[in-house]
Amino acid sequence: MKIRLARTLKDKIEAAAEETNRTLNGEIVARLERTFIEDAERESGRTTWIAKAKANSMASFEERLAKLESEFAEFRQSVERTK
């Protein structure tokens, strides 16, 4: 899938991806998923703060997972270098 983004928006997404140790695609997917969660919560009549809390919790989990994946990749590379 190809999409066009304003350069400023792409720069913001790239910065966020770097901050959360995600790929550009991973950051876009995480943000889109979060909006769908929030939309679903609003549509079901729940208050916005519940949707945000759940989205933040999921984002926090995804950030921790991305960091662990990155650390594991670095560890694997260091093990490979010692062989």
- Cβ pair 62, 79 in contact under 8 A: no
Predicted pLDDT at 10: 94
Predicted pLDDT at 45: 66
What is the number of other CB atoms lying within 10 angstroms of the CB of residue 13? 17
User: What's the pLDDT tens digit per position in 13-33?
Assistant: 999 999 999 999 999 999 999
User: What's the pLDDT tens digit per position in 38-54?
Assistant: 888 777 766 666 667 77
The mean per-residue pLDDT over the stretch 57-72 comes to: 84
- Cβ pair 60, 51 in contact under 8 A: no
The CA distance from 55 to 78, in Å, is 34
Q: Which helix (H) or strand (E) holds 77?
A: helix 48-82
Predicted pLDDT at 16: 93
Predicted pLDDT at 56: 74
Which single residue is written with the structure tokens 């949707």? Answer: 51
Phi, psi (rounded to 5 degrees) for 45: 90, 0
| pTM of this prediction exceeds 0.75 | no
